[in-house]
């Protein structure tokens, strides 16, 4: 038994004892899986239709706190319920957990049963629907970069996250010998995810000690976001099972490179790429040029959805393969946007801005909104930059979460695409991260000023 299941197949597997647990999961603002473990018999009896959760799950932070300032829910409103509606097309086995399957849920209003507008899955679905109305579908892929560490989550936590040791001692970019030493983690990651119906292509060492990359075959936008979220969750669980910690923090040490999550994208129509034009010198259709121009023009507006935390902005450093400018180039890894597959039917744009800490639903929804705006406004694409794109100051990526919060708050585009309530909800999420950080006295401040200040 592997891959996706029907409800009928789940019933058979439950009757014969193969399955006893169903994970019903929603995707929260941070891109994590949250939900309940059902006994499979009860899930088949009634929970396959709907279950419930507290509505604070879409108004919290990484610490599961209850920040004030959200209109959608609060202590004043009593923190009521949302409906979790299982999307049975996502029902799949979880091979790394015995007797377990998983289903992703859409989040609905408890009274109206309408989608919650600021739910990440609903936000992406809305942009996919807008694109469909124009006659196109989005094919996308995300790269997952992360670090493996020698010790487990529990050990690292007890040691206060100090003296972190990656699983390897040197840069392992494309390194076969070193990654062989890590196959006790990465082999089950690849095989278990593939058995869960997620089309894993490969894993490789990345450009730092202990850094890994997992690549999953491109798919339609919603499937890609689902695959990304499940894979990220699985990597952490499988690493934990093997006694290691896996971290998707964008920048875990100032002297180490950060971890990204590049997003590849193209639009399709009638089974063919709408981005390809064999008459163009780079193979780019006019539609693609409009779309890319939208990505570039509105990049400051949606940077928050690519870099949602204080730490996210530590990654944007020259000479680290992380971009510093929102400009495009042809097959050039120093630019924020890279044209891949030039001159071929595989032509596409790779957004290199996002870190490994992004929520894929939000990141893709925001980029689709920007691309759609480029098409509707018939924006003209600038000429590509060449050479070392780090050399220059124009079109800089917002430098801090404060900057990104301001551009998000002021975005006419995203307010039109998502709605004022949704944008204000995530503006508040950014504000809370800033407020929480501003209260903390960091190790840097103490070490720098304890004696010398």
The answer to whether residues 33 and 233 touch, using CB atoms and an 8 Å cutoff, is yes
* pTM for this model (two decimals): 0.96
**Where along the chain do its domains lie?**
7-116, 127-444
List the chain pLDDT tens, one digit each, 453 residues.
679 999 999 999 999 999 999 999 999 999 999 999 999 999 999 999 999 999 999 999 999 999 999 999 989 898 999 999 999 999 999 999 999 999 999 999 999 999 999 999 999 999 999 999 999 999 999 999 999 999 999 999 999 999 999 999 999 999 999 999 999 999 999 999 999 999 999 999 999 999 999 999 999 999 999 999 999 999 999 999 999 999 999 999 999 999 999 999 999 999 999 999 999 999 999 999 999 999 999 999 999 999 999 999 999 988 887 888 888 999 778 889 999 998 999 999 999 999 999 999 999 999 999 999 999 999 999 998 888 878 877 788 899 999 999 999 999 999 999 999 999 999 999 999 999 999 999 999 999 999 999
Element (H, E) at 127: helix 120-133
Q: 7-116 and 127-444 share one CATH topology?
A: no
Task: State whether CATH 3.30.590.10 applies to domain 127-444.
Answer: yes
DSSP state, 260?
B
**Buried-exposed string 259-295: b where 16+ CB fall within 10 A, e elsewhere:** bbbbbbbbbeeeeebbbbbeeeeebbbebbbbbbbbb
- Determine the length of the chain: 453
Instruction: Name the CATH topology of 7-116.
Output: Ubiquitin-like (UB roll) (3.10.20)
């Amino acid at each position: 038994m592997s891959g996706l299941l029907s409800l009928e197949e789940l019933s058979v597997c439950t009757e014969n004892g193969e399955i006893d647990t169903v994970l019903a999961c929603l995707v929260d603002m941070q891109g994590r899986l949250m939900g309940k473990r059902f006994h499979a018999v009860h899930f088949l009896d009634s929970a396959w239709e709907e279950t419930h959760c507290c509505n604070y799950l879409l108004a919290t932070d990484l610490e599961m706190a209850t920040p004030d300032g959200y209109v959608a829910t609060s202590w004043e409103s009593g923190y009521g319920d949302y409906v979790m509606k299982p999307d049975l097309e996502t029902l799949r086995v979880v091979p790394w957990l015995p007797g377990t399957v998983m289903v992703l849920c859409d989040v609905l209003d408890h009274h109206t049963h309408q989608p919650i507008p600021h739910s990440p899955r609903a936000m992406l679905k809305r942009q996919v629907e807008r694109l469909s109305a124009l006659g196109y579908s989005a094919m996308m892929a995300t790269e997952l970069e992360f670090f493996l560490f020698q010790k487990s989550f529990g050990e690292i936590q007890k040691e206060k996250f100090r003296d972190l040791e990656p699983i390897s001692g040197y840069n392992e970019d494309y390194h076969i010998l070193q990654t062989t030493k890590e196959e006790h983690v990465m082999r089950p990651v690849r095989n278990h995810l593939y058995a869960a119906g997620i089309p894993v292509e490969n894993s490789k060492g990345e450009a730092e000690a202990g850094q890994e990359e997992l690549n999953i075959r491109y798919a339609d936008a919603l499937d890609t976001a689902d695959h990304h979220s499940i894979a990220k969750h699985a990597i952490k669980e499988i690493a934990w099972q093997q006694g290691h910690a896996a971290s998707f923090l964008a920048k875990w040490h100032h002297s180490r490179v950060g971890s990204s999550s590049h997003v590849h994208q193209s639009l399709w129509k009638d089974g063919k790429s709408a981005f390809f034009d064999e008459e163009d010198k780079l193979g780019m259709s006019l539609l693609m040029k409009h779309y890319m121009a939208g990505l570039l023009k509105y990049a400051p507006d949606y940077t928050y959805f690519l870099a949602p935390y204080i730490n996210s902005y530590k990654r944007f450093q020259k000479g680290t393969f992380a971009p510093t400018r929102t400009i495009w180039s042809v097959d050039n890894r120093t630019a924020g946007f890279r044209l891949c597959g030039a001159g071929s039917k595989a032509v596409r744009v790779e957004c290199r801005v996002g870190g490994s800490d992004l929520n894929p639903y939000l990141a893709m929804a925001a980029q689709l909104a920007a691309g759609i705006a480029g098409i509707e406004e018939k924006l003209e694409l600038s000429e590509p930059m060449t050479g070392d794109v780090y050399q220059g100051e124009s079109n800089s990526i917002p430098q801090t979460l404060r900057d990104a919060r301001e551009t998000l708050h002021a975005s006419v585009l995203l307010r039109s695409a998502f709605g004022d309530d949704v944008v204000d909800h995530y503006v508040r999420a950014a504000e809370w991260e800033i407020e929480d950080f501003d209260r903390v006295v960091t190790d840097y401040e103490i070490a720098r000023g304890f004696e010398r200040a």
